[in-house]
Structure 1
Amino acid sequence: MNRNRAKWLTLMTLVLLTLTMSAQNKQKFKVVLDPGHGGKDTGTNHLKNVEKDIVLAVALEVGKILNKESDIEVFYTRSKDVFVPVKERSVMANEAKGNVFVSIHCNGVASSSPSGTETYVMGLSKNKSNLEVAKQENSVILMEDDYKTQYAGFNPSAPESIIGLMLIQEDYVQQSIDLASRVQDGFTYDLKRKNRGVKQGPFWVLHGAFMPSILIELGFVSNKEEGAYLSSSKGQKELAKSIAQGIISYKNAYYNNGIAHTETNVNEPQANTKSAVKGVTFKIQIAASSRVLALKPQNFKGLSNVTMEKGKKINKYFYSETSDYTEAKQRLAEAKAKGHSSSFIVAYKNGKQIPLEEALK
C-alpha cells in the first residue's frame, strides 16, 4: 500500500511538473502599444491630418497583425479616442509586464517642407531638433489638471528642464536602440520612406517604462504629400505592417516563448552548428551613447579591448571580436560579470551587421 502510494505521489509530481513547464513554455511575448495623445489632446493637426486619429488607426492595425502570432500578446494604453495622462501610459505598460513599449506619434511643424520617419529612444540629447520634438510631445502634460504635482515641477517648455530629466531607462537603452533600428530599417528599405534616423530624446512617456521602449514619429502631417499618406488607409496599413515586422524580428532575436535569453540574444545553435562561423565576426555590444567615450578600461567598468562604431546620432561600443561563437559567449559572460548586464552578442559579415539568428543558420 505504501509502495503504491509512493508511486502515485511520484506520478502526480511528474504530472504537475509537466503542466508547470508547459505553462511556462506558453508564456507570451507582451507588446504594449501606445497611440499618442487622444480625447481632448489632438496632438499635432495640419491640413485636416489629425495626429491622434492617425496613430490610433496605425496602432490598432499593428495590434491586429501581432495578434495573429500565437506567441504574442498585445496591450493598448488606449484603444479608442480617450485622453490618457502621459505618466499613466508607462504605468500601464509596467502593470502589463510588457516586454517592449512602443509609443506611436506623428510630427508636425510650421513649415510644409520637412518629411520622413524617425524613431526615438530615451536619452538626454542636447540636439536642438531632438529637443523640439521632445518638447512638443511632452507638452501634453500641461493638459493634466494636477501636472505640477504629478511631474514635480517639470516644465516641458524649458530646455534646461528637459535636459535635466533623469534617465531611468539606462538598463534598456541598447535593446531599445536595436528595436528602434529594426523598425526604422523597415520604413527605410521596405516602404522607401525618407529616413531621419534613430535618435535619443528626453520623452516623459518613455521615462518610466521599465522595458525596452521606443517612440515612433511616422512622418509629418504638416507636409501635404506625407500628411495625405499618413491619413490614408493604405499608408496606415503599410506603416503598421512595417512596425509589426520590426517588433516580430526583435522578438525572434531576443526572446523564446516570451522568456528573455540571458546568455545570448537568440536560441542556442543546433548541435550540428560549428563553433567557428566562416566569414562572420561576433562582438559583444556593451553600450550605446550619443557621447564619444575614450576607449579606456575605466570608462567600461574595467573592460579592455573595447572598440567603437561611430553613428550619425548614436555610437555603439563593443567588447572583444571573434569568429568563434563559443568564445563570444564566454566574452559575453565576462562583460555581464563586470556589470554590463544588458550587453549582448552581435554578428558582422563583410563589415555589415546581420541578425545573429542569420549568422547561426
Structure 2
Amino acid sequence: MKNVKFLVVFLSICFLICGYVVDGQTLDEKHKIKTVVIDAGHGGKDPGAIGYSRKSREKDVALAVALKVGEYIEENIDNVKVVYTRKTDVFIPLHERANIANRNDADVFISIHANCNENHTAYGSETYVLGLHRSEANMQVAKLENSVIELEDNNEDHYEFDVNSPEGHIIMTMTQNGNLEQSIQLANKIQDEFELRAKRKNRGVKQAGFYVLYKTTMPSNLVELGFISNPDEEKYLTSKTGQDHLASAIFRAFRAYKDELDAQLVKAEEFAEVQRTEEKIKDGVYKVQFYASRRQQSEDSEIYSKFHEVEFTVSNGFYRYTTGNFSDLENAKDHLRMVRENGYKDAYLIQIKNGKRLNVNVSLSYKN
C-alpha cells in the first residue's frame, strides 16, 4: 500500500508539472490501420449484467454485436485484420484482453458492453475513453466493468494495484495517454452513428478508469450499447435488428475514422514530398537567365508567353529574368538550348545553391 501511495503522489506531481499529454504522436509516427481488436465483454462464468426480464445476459449481447462488427469490417474494408478477444462463450481475464491487443500490434481496440442501472428508465448509448471520471455515475460504470477481476484465479499475480480502489482510479486516470485524442475522435464517430443510424439516445463520450483501456497501447474505446436493465432497450439489444443496427453503426464509425486517418497520412506524405523537393532546390536548382533590363517588363510581354516558369530578381539596378526550374543539369542544358534557339543567344545557366546565385559554364552541342 505504501508503494501505491508513493506512486499516486509521484504521478500527481508529474501531472501538475508536465500537464496532461493529449497526443504524443506526430503524424510521421502514425500508420495506416492494419489491425483492429474487437473485444466482446464478459463471457463464460462471467455473465455481465442481467437483463430486466432476467432472461438476457450482457455477455451474449456483447458477443453477438462484436461478431457482426468484425464481419462487416472483414467484408467491406480491404487489408484490415480483425482479431477477436473471444468468438465463443468463454471467460477471458481482463488483463489478457489488453494483452491480446498489444501482442497483435493492434491499431484500434474496441470493447463492447451493455449497460445496466437500478433505475430501469435509464436508456441510451455511451462510449468511454480512459480518463478522469467527471461524475459518480461514470466511476460506477468503470467499477462494474472492472469487477470481473474478482472472478479470476490468482488475480493478485496480474494486477499491480487494486483497480477499484481510490488509489487505483487515480493511477489509471492520471496516466499520460498518447492515444487520447484519437480515442476521442473514434468515440465521437461511434456516438454520432448510434444517434444517426441506430436512432439511439446519445449519452455522449465519457471518461473513466477502465483497466482494459489503461493497459492497451493504442486508441481504445469501451462502448456501452444500451441499458439491458431497461425493458424496452433490453428487447432492442437482444433483437437481430437491434444488434445489426448497433454493429453497423460501430462499423461505419470505424470506417470513417480509418478514412480520416488515411487522408491525414496522404497529406503528411504530400507535405514530406514538398519538403524533399524544397531540399533538392536548396541543394542546387538550375535556371536559364535570358533577359536583363533596367525596367520591369509587363505581364503581357512576350518573355512571359514564350517560356514557362518565368521569374525575375532585382540586382544592381537590373531586372534579371529566368525561365525553368531544374534539379537535373542535362534537363537544364536542353532548356538553355531551346531558349537560345528562340532568339536569346546570350542566355546562360545559373544555379541557386544555399540561397546564392552561381553562374554555370556549360558547352552545348547542336544538331545540324
TM-score (norm 2): 0.61
Among residues 148, 152, 156, which one is paired with 2:156 in the alignment?
148
CA contact (8 A) 2:130 2:210 kept: yes
Among residues 29, 34, 41, which one is paired with 2:46 in the alignment?
41
Confirm whether residue 180 of structure 1 aligns to residue 187 of structure 2: yes
Distance in 1 of aligned mates of 2:270 and 2:56:
43
Confirm whether residue 80 of structure 1 aligns to residue 85 of structure 2: no
User: Cα offset for 1:161?
Assistant: 3.2
User: Cα offset for 1:60?
Assistant: 0.3
Distance in 2 of aligned mates of 1:173 and 1:107:
23
User: Cα offset for 1:71?
Assistant: 2.4
Deviations 1:311-345 (A, max 9, x none): xxxxxxxxxxxxxxxxxxxxxxxxxxxxxxxxxxx
Q: What secondary structure, in the 3-state scheme, does the structure 2 residue paired with 1:255 have?
A: helix
Distance in 2 of aligned mates of 1:108 and 1:166:
23
CA RMSD of aligned residues (A): 2.4
Among residues 265, 270, 286, which one is paired with 1:261 in the alignment?
265
> What is the 5 A alignment of 1:290-301?
none
Which residue of structure 2 lines up, in the alignment, with residue 203 of structure 1? Answer: 210
Amino acid of the structure 2 residue aligned with 1:220: F
Distance in 2 of aligned mates of 1:83 and 1:169:
30
Structure whose alpha-carbon radius of gyration is higher: 2
> Do the aligned partners of residues 263 and 125 (structure 1) sit closer, same or farther apart at CA in structure 2, a change above 3 Å counting?
farther
Structure 1 segments, 4+ long, off by >3 Å, are 158-161, 166-169
Among residues 46, 55, 58, which one is paired with 1:51 in the alignment?
58
Q: What secondary structure, in the 3-state scheme, does the structure 2 residue paired with 1:218 have?
A: strand
User: Cα offset for 1:160?
Assistant: 4.5
Confirm whether residue 217 of structure 1 aligns to residue 224 of structure 2: yes
**Greater share of helix residues, 1 or 2?**
2
Distance in 1 of aligned mates of 2:137 and 2:166:
12
CA contact (8 A) 1:30 1:97 kept: yes
> Do the aligned partners of residues 186 and 28 (structure 1) sit closer, same or farther apart at CA in structure 2, a change above 3 Å counting?
closer
Deviations 1:242-300 (A, max 9, x none): 000000100111137xxx83974x987xx9xxxxxxxxxxxxxxxxxxxxxxxxxxxxx
Query: Which ranges of structure 1 fall in alignment gaps of 5 or more residues?
Result: 1-26, 272-361
Amino acid of the structure 2 residue aligned with 1:32: V
Distance in 1 of aligned mates of 2:199 and 2:159:
39
Amino acid of the structure 1 residue aligned with 2:128: Y
> Do the aligned partners of residues 262 and 151 (structure 1) sit closer, same or farther apart at CA in structure 2, a change above 3 Å counting?
farther
> What is the 5 A alignment of 1:279-298?
none
Q: What secondary structure, in the 3-state scheme, does the structure 2 residue paired with 1:170 have?
A: coil
> What is the 5 A alignment of 1:93-104?
93-104=101-112
User: Cα offset for 1:109?
Assistant: 1.5
Distance in 2 of aligned mates of 1:36 and 1:168:
23
Which residue of structure 2 lines up, in the alignment, with residue 5 of structure 1? Answer: none
CA contact (8 A) 2:197 2:245 kept: no
CA contact (8 A) 2:163 2:211 kept: no
User: Cα offset for 1:155?
Assistant: 4.4
Deviations 1:221-254 (A, max 9, x none): 0000001100011100110000000001001111
Q: What secondary structure, in the 3-state scheme, does the structure 2 residue paired with 1:140 have?
A: helix
Which residue of structure 1 lines up, in the alignment, with residue 126 of structure 2? Answer: 118
Which residue of structure 2 lines up, in the alignment, with residue 171 of structure 1? Answer: 178
Distance in 2 of aligned mates of 1:31 and 1:73:
6
Distance in 2 of aligned mates of 1:96 and 1:235:
30
> Do the aligned partners of residues 103 and 169 (structure 1) sit closer, same or farther apart at CA in structure 2, a change above 3 Å counting?
farther
Amino acid of the structure 2 residue aligned with 1:255: D
Q: Tell me whether 235-244 or 164-173 shows the greater mean CA deviation.
A: 164-173
Identity %: 43
User: Cα offset for 1:92?
Assistant: 0.6
CA contact (8 A) 1:131 1:159 kept: no
Q: Tell me whether 242-251 or 183-192 shows the greater mean CA deviation.
A: 183-192
Which residue of structure 1 lines up, in the alignment, with residue 37 of structure 2? Answer: 32
Distance in 2 of aligned mates of 1:198 and 1:112:
22
CA contact (8 A) 1:122 1:167 kept: no
Amino acid of the structure 2 residue aligned with 1:42: P
Which residue of structure 2 lines up, in the alignment, with residue 282 of structure 1? Answer: none
Amino acid of the structure 1 residue aligned with 2:260: A
> Do the aligned partners of residues 234 and 127 (structure 1) sit closer, same or farther apart at CA in structure 2, a change above 3 Å counting?
same
Q: What secondary structure, in the 3-state scheme, does the structure 1 residue paired with 2:172 have?
A: coil
Which residue of structure 2 lines up, in the alignment, with residue 290 of structure 1? Answer: none
Which residue of structure 1 lines up, in the alignment, with residue 135 of structure 2? Answer: 127
Query: Which ranges of structure 2 fall in alignment gaps of 5 or more residues?
Result: 1-31, 275-368
Which residue of structure 2 lines up, in the alignment, with residue 340 of structure 1? Answer: none
Amino acid of the structure 1 residue aligned with 2:185: D
